[in-house]
């Protein structure tokens, strides 16, 4: 069974002005579609061995895959997994205000319940968590991802590597810091992209993942 591009759970322009329609359309229909297509091409070389394997299986067993497709699955299977999660951890419903520059407003968009307790236990308060996550995102050289794990660890992966390559624990929140995720809107200002990205995090969805 071939892997397929999932639909966005909102319209392409729904996250504007935080993320423009142009970026969302390119990111979804070109970048993510490209990962899906290249993943399918690689897996289809081994129909008997890999034809019925899930994406989670491919990523958690990346080091045992046939060598000639291992890097392709790593980059494109990881890309498929990471982006499929990324679309879901964002939502237009918490966007407040129109400015994408210099916002000093407090982080009005926050988790609650058990997840907030876990974050508070680890970081003291939500704003400190946001600062630590942001610091890791800004410190990540080149292209990669920043993740919140169910135990409140914040980890980074390079390129399109997935946390599932490190172990069987799924991340609950992920931030794409490849330039293709923000350059058209923010140029090289990763800091401003991240500052605004917090406005569209779908904490209700992240909380459902933390309870799995």
Binding site for Mn ion (CB under 5 A): 176, 178, 181
Task: For the CB of residue 130, give the shortest distance to Mn ion in the complex, in Å.
Answer: 21
Q: How far is CA 183 from the centre of its chain?
A: 16
* Measured distance CA(14)–CA(87) in Å, rounded: 12
User: Which C-beta is closer to Mn ion: that of 110 or that of 192?
Assistant: 192
User: Which C-beta is closer to Mn ion: that of 6 or that of 107?
Assistant: 6
Report residue 52 as tokens.
């019925």
DSSP characters over 136-150:
HHHH--SSEEEEE-T
User: Which C-beta is closer to Mn ion: that of 129 or that of 182?
Assistant: 182
User: Which C-beta is closer to Mn ion: that of 28 or that of 195?
Assistant: 28
User: Which C-beta is closer to Mn ion: that of 107 or that of 178?
Assistant: 178
Task: For the CB of residue 84, give the shortest distance to Mn ion in the complex, in Å.
Answer: 11
- Residue of minimal Cβ distance to Mn ion: 176
* Measured distance CA(140)–CA(180) in Å, rounded: 15
Task: For the CB of residue 120, give the shortest distance to Mn ion in the complex, in Å.
Answer: 30
* Measured distance CA(108)–CA(163) in Å, rounded: 28
Report residue 63 as tokens.
């080091």
Task: For the CB of residue 160, give the shortest distance to Mn ion in the complex, in Å.
Answer: 8
How big is the chain by its Cα radius of gyration, in Å?
Answer: 17
Task: For the CB of residue 118, give the shortest distance to Mn ion in the complex, in Å.
Answer: 27
Task: For the CB of residue 75, give the shortest distance to Mn ion in the complex, in Å.
Answer: 12
User: Which C-beta is closer to Mn ion: that of 22 or that of 114?
Assistant: 22
Dihedral angle at the C-alpha atoms of 169, 208, 76, 87, nearest 10 degrees?
A: -150
């Amino acid at each position: 069974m071939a892997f397929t591009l999932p639909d966005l759970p909102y319209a392409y322009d729904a996250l504007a002005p935080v993320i423009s329609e142009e970026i969302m359309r390119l990111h979804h229909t070109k970048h993510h579609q490209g990962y899906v297509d290249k993943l399918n091409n690689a897996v289809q070389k081994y129909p008997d061995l890999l034809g019925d394997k899930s994406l989670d299986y491919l990523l958690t067993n990346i080091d045992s895959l046939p060598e000639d497709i291992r890097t392709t699955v790593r980059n494109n299977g990881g890309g498929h997994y990471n982006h499929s999660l990324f679309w879901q951890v964002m939502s237009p419903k918490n966007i407040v205000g129109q400015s994408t520059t210099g916002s000093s407003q407090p982080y009005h968009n926050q988790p609650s319940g058990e997840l907030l307790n876990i974050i508070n236990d680890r970081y003291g308060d939500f704003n400190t968590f946001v600062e630590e996550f942001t610091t890791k995102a800004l410190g990540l050289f080149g292209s990669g991802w920043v993740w919140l794990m169910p135990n409140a660890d914040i980890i980074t992966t390079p390129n399109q590597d997935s946390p599932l390559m490190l172990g069987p624990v799924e991340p609950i929140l992920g931030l794409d810091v490849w330039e293709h995720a923000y350059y058209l809107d923010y140029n090289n200002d990763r800091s401003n992209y991240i500052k605004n990205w917090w406005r569209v995090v779908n904490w209700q969805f992240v909380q459902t993942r933390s309870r799995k």
